[in-house]
């Protein structure tokens, strides 16, 4: 009898907990973007916010908390109330910051709940409009001859542009001068203005500038060419001489640790619905991005993927000897 009462009691607690979240979300949900407005992470989050409105039945707001390569915004979400109303849209930096920053106020994966991977995005190597180099081979000669003076813009330590730049310098066996920004949106403004020389930027933000002929493009960072009008004639860096050069960026959706399972399940199913939205798919594919359709859309699959990426990048970063406090 005692056992039966306990079982009924436990069942009661479980269903009360689920019921308590039955109305979720009953107020706007915020997506924190850890980079500046107008950049690739911001664009992805805003498109996702539009597509999440319908399945969530709520307004979805984007909050840019930029700085320190994405770690400021990530820390903000790690410390937020775990009620599902404050979420993080973050990229590969989720897996690289733990190795790059000696003092990080949050842990990956421990301080987050995983809601599903969103997409994969290729990058391109772009240059300021006044550069004389007409091909990657010319550019390579110019970089090698400059003795480290070429400026390479990035969005801070651990950002996608920083990692891609780090891999690029190691493939060229040369150094460049890094110039960090709070995101690649302000970096792009300076690249177009000629204040910096080069940037490794996600197609998301680079394609409109390439189409508008505002920057020069020297190569794509994926192993295959991208079949979109602006980039289909641009060689891969691997074919252009940096054999096997391959940098792919991915983005995922996260909640603070301790978010109730019922809320995680609702957010995951809203994310799945959003990633089937034809308008979101059209916008992402037009920029060369691939929307995730595999088991990394499951919280467990997403977590496993980030853990594997963390292990892979920690090794690369250790070898490169890059750290920040
Ligand atoms: N995701 C960054 C941004 O949106 C760019 C980067 O990581 O390189 O500005």
Is 10 a residue whose pLDDT tops 70? no
Distance 174 CA to ligand 1 centre (A): 23
Measure 41 CA to ligand 1 centroid, in angstroms.
6
CB 73 within 8 A of CB 33: yes
pTM for the whole thing?
Answer: 0.90
pLDDT (mean) for 35-40: 95
Cross-strand partners of 113: 255
pLDDT at 18: 61
282, pLDDT greater than 80: yes
CA distance 165 to 154: 8
Kindly state the percentage of the chain with pLDDT values over 90: 84
Closest by alpha carbon to 90, among 67, 118, 109, 68? Answer: 118
Q: Cα of 155 to ligand 1 centre, how many Å? A: 5
Instruction: Provide mean pLDDT across the span 219-236.
Output: 94
Work out the pLDDT band at 285, boundaries 50, 70, 90. very high
Residue 206 tokens read as 């680079």
Split at pLDDT 50, 70, 90, the class of 281 is very high
Ligand 1 center from residue 67 Cα (angstroms) = 10
In the chain, alpha helices (H):
2-20, 40-56, 71-78, 93-100, 136-145, 160-172, 184-193, 203-211, 261-274, 278-286, 299-320
CB-ligand 1 contact for 155 (6 Å cutoff): yes
Q: Which of 17-26, 90-99, 205-214 has the lowest mean pLDDT?
A: 17-26
Q: Is the pLDDT of residue 325 over 60?
A: no
> If we measure between CA atoms, which residue out of 77, 226, 57, 12 comes closest to residue 217?
226
Mean pLDDT (the chain) is 92
Q: In the predicted model, what is the mean pLDDT of residues 270-295?
A: 95
Mutate to test the pocket of ligand 1, among 183, 189, 196, 204 (most ligand atoms within 8 A of CB): 183
**Span 252-277, average pLDDT:** 97
End-to-end CA distance of the chain: 59
Instruction: Pick from 91, 196, 200, 205 the residue to mutate for probing ligand 1's pocket: most ligand atoms within 8 Å of its CB.
Output: 91
Enumerate domains of the chain plus CATH numbers.
Answer: 2-121+250-320 (3.40.190.150), 122-240 (3.40.190.10)
As beta bridge partners, residue 217 has 126
Which residue, among 106, 324, 68, 93, has the nearest Cα to 183 in the 3D structure? 68
Q: Are 53 and 215 in contact (CB under 8 A)?
A: no
Q: Cβ-count burial of 6 within 10 angstroms (0-12 exposed, 13-18 middle, 19+ buried)?
A: exposed
């Amino acid at each position: 009898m005692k056992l039966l009462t306990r079982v009924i009691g436990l069942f009661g607690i479980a269903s009360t907990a689920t019921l308590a979240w039955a109305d979720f979300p009953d107020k706007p949900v915020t997506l924190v973007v850890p980079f500046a407005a107008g950049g690739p992470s911001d664009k992805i989050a805003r498109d996702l916010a539009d597509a999440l409105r319908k399945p969530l039945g709520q307004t979805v707001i984007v909050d840019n908390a930029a700085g320190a390569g994405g770690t400021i915004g990530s820390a903000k979400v790690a410390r937020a109330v775990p009620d599902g109303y404050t979420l993080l849209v973050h990229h590969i930096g989720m897996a690289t910051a733990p190795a790059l920053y000696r003092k990080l106020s949050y842990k990956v994966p421990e301080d987050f709940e995983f809601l599903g991977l969103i997409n994969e995005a290729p990058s391109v190597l772009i240059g300021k409009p006044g550069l004389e180099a007409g091909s990657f081979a010319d550019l390579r000669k110019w970089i090698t001859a400059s003795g480290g003076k070429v400026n390479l813009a990035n969005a801070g330590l651990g950002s996608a542009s920083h990692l891609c730049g780090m891999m690029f310098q190691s493939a060229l066996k040369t150094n460049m001068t890094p110039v960090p920004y709070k995101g690649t949106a302000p970096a792009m403004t300076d690249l177009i203005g000629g204040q910096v020389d080069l940037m490794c930027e996600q197609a998301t933000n680079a394609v409109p500038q390439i189409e508008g002929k505002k920057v020069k493009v020297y190569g794509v960072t994926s192993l295959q060419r991208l079949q979109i009008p602006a980039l289909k004639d641009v060689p891969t860096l691997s074919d252009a001489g940096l054999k096997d050069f391959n940098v792919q960026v991915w983005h995922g959706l996260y909640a603070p640790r301790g978010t109730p399972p019922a809320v995680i399940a609702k957010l995951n199913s809203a994310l799945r619905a959003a990633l089937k939205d034809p308008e979101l798919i059209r916008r992402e594919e037009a920029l060369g991005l691939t929307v995730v359709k595999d088991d990394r859309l499951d919280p467990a699959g997403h977590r496993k993927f980030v853990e594997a990426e963390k292990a892979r990048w920690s090794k690369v970063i250790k070898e490169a000897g890059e750290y920040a406090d």
